[in-house]
Amino acid sequence: MPSPMLNTPKPSIQMVGNAHLDPAWMWCWGEGMEAFLSTCRAALQRMEETPEFVFTCSSAAHYRWVEQVEPELFRQIQQRVAQGRWAIVGGWWTQADCNLPSAEGFLRQALLGQRYFLQSFGRIARVGYSPDAFGHTLGLPQLLARSGMPSYIFCRPDPTELPLPSPIIRWHSPDGSNVLAYRVPFHYNMYESSVPKKIADLAEAFHRPSNLSNPAQPLRNVGDVWCLFYGVGNHGGGPTKEHIRQIIEASSNSQFSAVEFSNPERFFATIRNGEDPRQPLPSWHDDLQLNAPGCYSAHSEIKRLNRQSEHLLLQAERLSALAALRVGAGYPATEFRRAWENVCFNHFHDILCGVAIREALQEAMETYGQALNTARQATRYAIQRIARKVATSGGEGTALLVFNSHSWAVRHGVTFELWHDIDKSLWTQPIHLRVTDGAGCDLPCQIGFTSGKIGKDRVAVTFLADVPAFGWRQYRVIYGQESPHADHRGASIQQREDWLQVENAQLRVCFSLRDGCITELLHKQSGICLLHGGGAAGLVIDDPTDTWGHGATAFDEVIGRFGNAEVRVVQNGPTHITIRSRTWFGASWIQQDFKLYHHSDYLEVAVKLFWGEQNKMLKLAFPTGLSAPRSVAESAGVATWKPADGTERPCGTWFAASGTTAGTTNRQPATLGIATDAKHSFSLTPDGDLRMTVLRSPAYALHTPHPFHPDEDLDYLDQGVQRFHYTLHPVADAAPMELLAKAGMLLNAPLIPHLESAHEGSIPEADPNGGIIISATNVAATVLKRSEESDGENGGKNDEKNDGENEAENGEENNGERGGWIVRLHELSGKHTTAQLHFPLLGIEWTATLAPHQLSTWRLRGGTATEVNAIEMSEEEDRKLSEG
């Protein structure tokens, strides 16, 4: 479809003055802060010199630097914003990477950024702004539109990497949300260019096929209103006096109807006003990839810490809300806000993508530690406050409460450690222990390995817990009595000369004793067999690219394979079997503990590895044997389908290969899904080999083709030991998205066991219905938090603290009555769904209708549920803000 012609006789150019600033990249954030302050002073000075000049700037975190360090400078910016001379864009805390954060991570970017802009400037940003990000997930149009930003600026991938039908497109997410998205031509910085050169290049492009859009399509068909960016950037700087003089001179250029100072919001308004409804803008229903694919596996620890921080903060919020609503406990809103600010700052694309200098990434890891400490403290305080109100004095032994922070009932293995003083003379004797449920029935339990090696005073126990949604269940641990299930084995083991096989009622898994790989993964009920030799094999891939992976689209040159396997059974008891496979490549090794629970239809894997290679990549391979395979992966809350072409692709908590079983007369749909707690990149080859990218090891912050001195002491990424987990799911289904989404959430925020002393209590030991009831299994309540309005306009200064001194037994302040509570729903399976919801803690029932993969936000207050946007504004509130 040709792009529309806008109703102007000649093309016009709107010039956007900006100063791209990486707060941390080849420098640490302290240097970035000073550079931003200097950039702001320079932009204000240009405004004094040239009344027409307009400046555009994003990133709420940077504005807060100015507010805290130089208040007078901040007041000048506020004045220029009010005059329309300083344009606020972005709406996020910082310019995040646009593939790696979770959906909730992006929404917290907007919640922090937009509410800061509203409080500081009386307005929110209406244009999303990611000119420097390397790629853009298909989930973004929904996340932007639901955060008050109907327009979007991007630059990468460039037209040679991703041809588009036009530089401006209407970009759609699966839920139906869309934004106008514009790919900035000729980059956002100046580099070796100049304003006259950019304008001349644009003029020339009107007369020949152009790389600004699809190379096969003449630029003149795209439209007549253009937006060019100018200004010194990367380390800040902004428009210079010379840039401004050149724009004023260019305003007399006869090839254009106008060359004028502008900003992105004004540009998009011009596009909307001039669009001919008979010739709508081209639509785009895919992600925007692929530039620098090595970013999504560079620096494993940064990515692991981000994944952990996001999920554990959400878990802590849900449990803190549960504690506030159940027992009137304080809700640590200020602490949560500061933790999310740290996480969102580290979403900045050069940090989260692992392409900054080692020192900057070290600082980022330290602030992730602060966020994780907040999450763990809040979780423990919430659990303890609930536990102290639960009656635990009845029954034998010690009370064990298991908490579930998810909105669906969870049946899963739980491991806890118990301290019990015993005489050293008894250390040679077997440990006897029982676990019972609320009815006193014995449950299978298994003694395992403790973290500390201090003798038999410390015991690790695994059992299968069944816990309601947003709730807990009490079990009893009775030491010194043998479990009636002690000799029970729910799975069998067979071993021959070169193979070892484990089997339960759901799965059969066969391992090669020669190479340590899975040779068979059989889903017994359906009869589908996924993995036909070489499953979970460690592949060494040649990787001569730089830290970003510039110039690559795939990493597929296998130059080695881990081998010399040691395979053995390390645990076999009433709840699970664990098979350990250890393989080597040179001095590097991989240890994988494959755990099969007796009840489960999936395989749980704990990985520990040592890596000593440089300029190489490690992948784990899973040859599925599927016919006509396609990949599907979660990214920012949506599922994205892609061809099996070996391309390196980013992903969220899960990815999968889907197709039909091969080599049988009765083919059936089948999927091998993988959920992970740390990894963000994968590929799928045309023959169905699903490969998880575990790590890359280029030098830190090495950007080709820039040379470095041979005597420089380079540090390389991902050297040494690391750990992570993944789960393998063979499924007789073409699109088991709900199953994999819940597996990913549970892996990243597992059930929490808590041993509690004996005491009386005022609340039930277990609520069979839990804290929320949702009629549709494919709808999850991923967020339960206090409304931002409950914190007032003081930035949360009056929040209750974690010391518990301000607990209110009536729960009025803690129950968020002033602003209410926020519940965010997420449709998981890609289907239109209507769900009935009941939140018994507030006595509220409501109906929600969700589009495929929709994120729907609700404020619970005063006995009713009201839908709001992601920044917690109702439609009416947002409309008034737009008009006023």
Q: Could you tell me if 546 and 698 are in contact, meaning their C-beta atoms sit under 8 angstroms apart?
A: yes
Q: Is residue 760 part of a domain?
A: no
779-786: strand order across its sheet: 779-786, 821-827, 855-861, 864-868
Nearest to 113 by CA among 46, 155, 64, 167: 64
Token duo for residue 367: 């602030």
Same-domain pairing of 635 and 545: yes
Within a domain: residue 99? Answer: yes
Question: What is the tens place of the pLDDT at every residue in 146-190?
Answer: 999 999 999 999 999 999 999 999 999 999 999 999 999 988 887
Measure the CA–CA gap between 190 and 235, rounded to whole angstroms. Answer: 13
Same-domain pairing of 263 and 310: no
Whether residue 105 has pLDDT greater than 90:
yes
548-586: b or e for each residue (b if 16 or more CB lie within 10 Å)?
bbbebbebbeeebebeebebeeebebbbbbbbbbbbbbe
pLDDT value of position 5: 39
- State the number of CA atoms in the 13 A half-sphere of 237 facing the CB: 16
Q: Which residues contact 13 (CB under 8 A, 6 or more apart)?
A: 199, 202, 226, 227, 228, 250, 256, 258, 259, 260
- Rounded-to-integer distance, Cα 791 and Cα 673, Å: 41
In this structure, the number of other CB atoms found within 10 A of the CB of residue 533 comes to 14
Cβ-based neighbour number of residue 278 at 10 Å? 6
Which of residues 332, 367, 389 is at a domain's end?
Answer: 389
603-630, pLDDT tens digit by residue?
Answer: 999 999 999 999 999 999 999 999 999 9
d(CA 62, CA 57): 10
Distances (CA, A) of 754 to 166, 473, 606: 57, 10, 23
CATH code: domain of residue 264: 3.20.110.10
Backbone angles phi, psi at 551, to 5 degrees: 85, -10
* DSSP code, position 530: E
Are 327 and 187 members of one domain?
Answer: no
Domain total in the chain: 3
Q: How far is CA 832 from CA 179, 258, 555, 853, in A?
A: 21, 46, 37, 9
- What is the average pLDDT across 656-660? 97
Same domain, 283 and 301: no
- 838 — pLDDT class (breaks 50, 70, 90): very high
Query: Does residue 360 share a domain with residue 284?
Result: no
How deeply is 514 buried, as exposed, middle or buried, from its count of CB atoms within 10 A (0-12, 13-18, 19+)?
middle
Is 95 among the domain residues? yes
Domain match, 31 and 130 both: yes
Per-residue three-class SS string for 626-693: EEEEEEEEEECCEEEEEECCCCCEECCCEEEEEEEECCCCCCCEEEEEEEECCCCEEEECCCCEEEEE
- State how far the Cα of 671 lies from the Cα of 729, in Å rounded to an integer: 8
For residue 584, tell me if it sits in a domain.
Answer: yes
Asked whether 270 and 160 are in contact (CB, 8 A), the reply is no
**Window from 216-225, 744-753, 804-813 with minimum mean pLDDT:** 804-813
What's the chain's average pLDDT? Answer: 92
Nearest to 108 by CA among 396, 410, 336: 336
pLDDT band at 219 (very low <50, low <70, confident <90, very high): very low
Structure confidence by residue, pLDDT tens digits, 708-758? 888 899 999 999 999 999 999 999 998 899 999 999 999 999 999 999 999
pTM for this structure?
0.95
For residue 118, is it within any domain?
Answer: yes
- Taking the C-alpha atoms of residue 577 and residue 504, their distance in angstroms, rounded to an integer, is 10
Please say if the pLDDT value at position 580 is more than 90. Answer: yes
Radius of gyration of the chain measured on its C-alpha atoms: 28
pLDDT tops 60 at residue 274: yes
Give the pLDDT of residue 256. 86
Co-location of 552 and 680 in the same domain: yes
When mean pLDDT is compared across 19-23, 134-138, 209-213, 645-649, the lowest value belongs to: 209-213
Instruction: Give, as one character, the DSSP assignment of residue 296.
Output: G
Does 794 fall in a domain?
no
Query: At 75, is the secondary structure helix, strand, or coil?
Result: helix
Q: What is the mean pLDDT of residues 689-702?
A: 98
Residue range 589-603: average pLDDT? 97
| pLDDT reading at 218 higher than 90 | no
Amino acid 742: pLDDT:
99
Same domain, 696 and 604: yes
Angle at 348 between CA 346 and CA 349, to 5 degrees: 125
In this structure, the answer to whether residues 574 and 712 fall within a common structural domain is yes
Closest Cα to residue 372, out of 323, 305, 304, 320? 305
Same-domain status, 50 and 195: yes
Neighbours of 834 (CB within 10 A): 11
The confidence score (pLDDT) of residue 802 equals 43
Residue where one domain finishes, among candidates 226, 261, 291:
291
- For 55-102, how does the pLDDT look when each residue is reduced to its tens digit (9 = 90+)? 999 999 999 999 999 999 999 999 999 999 999 999 999 999 999 999
Four-residue CA torsion sign, 234, 240, 242, 248: positive
Q: What is the pLDDT of residues 422-441, one digit of tens each?
A: 767 666 778 889 999 989 99
Question: Nearest to residue 93, comparing CAs of 321, 342, 284, 270?
Answer: 342
Angle in degrees, CA 642, 518, 599, rounded to 5? 90
Q: Check pLDDT > 80 for residue 535.
A: yes
Please, which residues bridge with residue 782 across strands?
Answer: none
298 pLDDT higher than 70: yes
Residue the block writes with tokens 């707060």 = 23
Asked which of 17-31, 578-592, 803-817 is least confident by mean pLDDT, the reply is 803-817
Strand 654-661 vs strand 12-17: parallel, antiparallel, or unpaired? unpaired
What gap in Å lies between CA 874 and CA 787, rounded to an integer? 13
What does the buried/exposed string (b/e) look like for 155-165 if buried means 16 or more CB atoms within 10 Å of the residue's CB?
bbbebeebebb
Q: What is the pLDDT of residue 481?
A: 87
Which of residues 228, 263, 291 is at a domain's end? 291
The pLDDT assigned to 873 comes to 94
- Residue 774 CA to residue 411 CA, distance in Å, equals 17
Q: How far is CA 624 from the centre of its chain?
A: 26
First to last CA, the chain: 38
Name the residue range of residue 286's domain: 12-291
Burial of 614 (0-12, 13-18, 19+ CB in 10 A): middle
β-partners of residue 590 are 583, 609
* Nearest of 781, 848, 844, 856 to residue 816 by alpha carbon: 844
Looking at residue 489, its pLDDT comes to 84
Evaluate if residue 798 carries a pLDDT over 50.
no
H/E stretch holding 242 reads helix 241-250
What pLDDT does 202 receive? 85
The answer to whether 40 touches 72, Cβ cutoff 8 Å, is no
Distance CA 682, CA 642 (A): 12
CA distance 54 to 81: 10
Q: Give me the CATH number covering residue 340.
A: 1.20.1270.50
- Interhelix angle 333-346/358-387, nearest 10 degrees: 150
CATH of the domain at 732: 2.70.98.30
pLDDT at 663: 59
With residues binned 3-state (H G I as helix, E B as strand, rest as coil), the percentages for the chain, rounded to 5, are 25, 35, 45
- The span from the CA of 125 to the CA of 816, in Å, is 27
- The three-class DSSP label of residue 441 is coil
**With bands split at pLDDT 50, 70 and 90, how would you rate the model's confidence at 794?**
very low
How big is the CA angle at 472 (ends 306 and 575), to the nearest 5 degrees? 80
The answer to whether residue 491 sits within a structural domain is: no
Reported as a single tens digit per residue, the pLDDT across 480-520 is 888 888 888 878 999 998 999 999 999 999 999 999 999 99
Q: Is residue 417 part of a domain?
A: no
Q: Are residues 308 and 346 in the same domain?
A: yes
**Are 108 and 153 part of one and the same domain?**
yes
